[in-house]
Structure formats: C-alpha cells, structure tokens
Amino acid sequence: MYENSSMEAVANDLRETASDLKVDTLLSLVRAAEVANRYLDLEMSKYGARRARSGVLNVLIVNGGKMRPTDLSKKLFRAKHTITSIVDGLEKEGLVRRETTTEDRRIRKIAITKVGLEFVKATASYRRDISYKAFSWLDVEQTQELNNMLTRLRKHLLLILERKGNGEILERHKGP
C-alpha cells in the first residue's frame, strides 16, 4: 500500500499538469471522444447497429466493396484479430462474404453483399439524425470550424506518429 502523502503528492502533480491549457485540452478531447463513442453505441444499438461493424461496412463501400482483412485493419486502426471477429459476425448475418482471388487462392478478400449494401442504405437516415442531434448545439459555421480543427489535429498527430517510425500509420488513415 502506498503512503497517503506519496499518493497526495502524485495527485497534486496530476492536478498541476492538468491545469496546463494544452494538457487540459487534450484530456478534454479524450473525454469528449469517450462520451461520443458511448453516445454512438447507445444510439446505434436502437437500430441494431454497432460502430465497429458499421465502420467495416462503410470502409468496404468507400473502397470499392472488396478489401483484404489486413487493409481493413490498417484503415480502421484495429488489430487483425479484431477485424476477423467483426467480419465473422457480419458474415453470419450475410452482410459480407469472404472470397478468394483468382490471382492467388491464398489471398482472401472481404466483400460487401447486397444485403450489406441495403443495410447501410437503410441506416443512412438514422446516422444523419444521430449526427444532427450530437451537434445541435453548434451552428453551421461552428460545426465547420470544429471539423476543420479536428481534421488538422488528426493530420498533425499522424505526422508525429510517422516521425516516430510508425510509417504505416499514415497509410492506415488515407481516407475514411
């Protein structure tokens, strides 16, 4: 067990660090992202959808309907085993299928099915409603400003990661 004075000293250090504007801003962003993810989980569950599964379907559609699991993993910043698990569930529901390529039978691609495409089309209106509700407190100009700032932050952080030797990071996030 730690001494109370040691714990209190660390707690004071944390409070002092958090009072720095840039540290506080990053912590606020992280907390807002956690709350936004929880909000999306709850709202999407009303329609039988989940963020991770929707992410896979959306990325497949935007990238021509077929992708290797490794490429999905990179685009979505998810571990390969996580993508496998998500694809297993989507496949059971008939929303995607696994296909072998004609060039090399060892290479498998995940392809969205007609049912998957129809599911995404059917959920477009609720995705819009969820988004409008989340940003109802901002006018159009403020929403655009926030979007621009978040885009700049994402690009800045990706550059930092790339400089630290994580070369594949930028490849992962080219596009949706």
Is residue 115, in this structure, part of any structural domain at all?
no
Question: Residue 88: CA atoms inside 13 Å, Cβ hemisphere, count?
Answer: 6
Structural domain boundaries enclosing 169? 135-176
N- to C-terminal Cα distance for the chain? Answer: 47
Is residue 142, in this structure, part of any structural domain at all?
yes
Number of domains in the chain: 1
CA distance linking residue 74 with residue 70, whole number of Å: 6
* Residue labelled with tokens 């996030």: 173
Is residue 147, in this structure, part of any structural domain at all?
yes
Is residue 163, in this structure, part of any structural domain at all?
yes
**3-state DSSP helix/strand/coil percent for the chain, to nearest 5?**
70, 5, 25
Pair type for strands 96-100 and 66-67: unpaired
Which pLDDT tens digits describe the chain residue by residue (176 residues)?
Answer: 567 778 888 888 888 887 788 888 999 999 999 999 999 999 999 888 889 999 999 999 999 999 999 999 989 989 999 999 999 999 999 999 999 877 777 889 999 999 999 999 988 888 899 999 999 999 999 999 999 999 999 999 988 888 877 555 445 454 44
Q: Is 22 left (phi over 0), alpha (psi -120 to 50) or beta?
A: alpha
CB atoms within 10 A of CB 97: 16
Is residue 28, in this structure, part of any structural domain at all?
no
Look at residue 174 and give its three-state secondary structure: coil
